[in-house]
């Protein structure tokens, strides 16, 4: 039940933020369908390898918005959130379900990636129980 609540909360937050941006600022959301510009291969590659896909599609192909200070900060520190925000601006009007899925992947992927990095730098857990030597001698008896 917690997952459904989180999805609904993300949906409401995105809807509120996009409504505020659309009504009170000069932000214009795109009106092009995602599947007209990209396909399923791009969708899976941007979900699994966001930095590589953003770099190749932005620099070499030119199919994704590329450049700017905030773009580069997102590219290096939070690429999945950059992908989700680009998807929100470009495809919110035509594909809101894909945008919601991109935000779920962004929030889940970034948090799990940061958790794995921090757990690796902490080092392996040692279970030192105060033994002085490297081996423990013990006697075993077999019950009959």
pTM check: above 0.85: no
Asked, for residue 19, whether it belongs to a domain, the answer is: no
Structure confidence at residue 9 as a pLDDT band (50, 70, 90): confident
Asked, for residue 41, whether it belongs to a domain, the answer is: no
Query: What distance in Å separates the CA atoms of residue 53 and residue 36, rounded to the nearest whole number?
Result: 18
**Number of domains comprising the chain:** 1
pLDDT, average across residues 22-37:
78
Asked, for residue 36, whether it belongs to a domain, the answer is: no
Asked, for residue 10, whether it belongs to a domain, the answer is: no
Residue 62 is predicted with a pLDDT of 63
Asked, for residue 59, whether it belongs to a domain, the answer is: yes
Asked, for residue 83, whether it belongs to a domain, the answer is: yes
Residue pLDDT, tens place only, 97-114: 888 888 888 878 766 777
Weakest-pLDDT range from 58-62, 73-77, 121-125, 131-135: 131-135
Nearest Cα residue to 111 out of 122, 123, 100, 103: 103
Residue 63 is predicted with a pLDDT of 64
Asked, for residue 103, whether it belongs to a domain, the answer is: yes
Residue pLDDT, tens place only, 39-78: 888 888 888 888 888 888 777 666 677 667 777 888 888 8
Query: Please, what is the average pLDDT of the chain?
Result: 77
Asked, for residue 2, whether it belongs to a domain, the answer is: no
**For residue 38, what are the contacts with CB-CB under 8 A and spacing of at least 6?**
63
Residue 92 is predicted with a pLDDT of 81
Nearest Cα residue to 79 out of 48, 40, 34: 48
For residue 66, what are the domain limits?
Answer: 50-114
């Amino acid at each position: 039940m917690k997952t459904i609540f989180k999805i609904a909360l993300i949906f409401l937050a995105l809807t509120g933020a996009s409504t505020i941006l659309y009504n009170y600022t000069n932000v214009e959301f795109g009106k092009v369908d995602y599947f007209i510009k990209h396909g399923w291969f791009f969708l899976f590659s941007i979900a699994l390898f966001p930095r590589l896909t953003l770099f190749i599609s932005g620099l070499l192909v030119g199919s994704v918005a590329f450049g700017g200070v905030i773009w580069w900060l997102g590219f290096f520190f939070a690429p999945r959130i950059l992908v989700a925000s680009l998807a929100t601006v470009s495809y919110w009007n035509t594909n809101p379900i894909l945008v919601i899925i991109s935000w779920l992947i962004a929030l889940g992927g970034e948090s799990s990636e940061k958790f794995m990095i921090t757990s690796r730098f902490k080092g392996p857990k040692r279970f030192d129980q105060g033994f002085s030597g490297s081996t423990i001698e013990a006697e075993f008896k077999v019950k009959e």
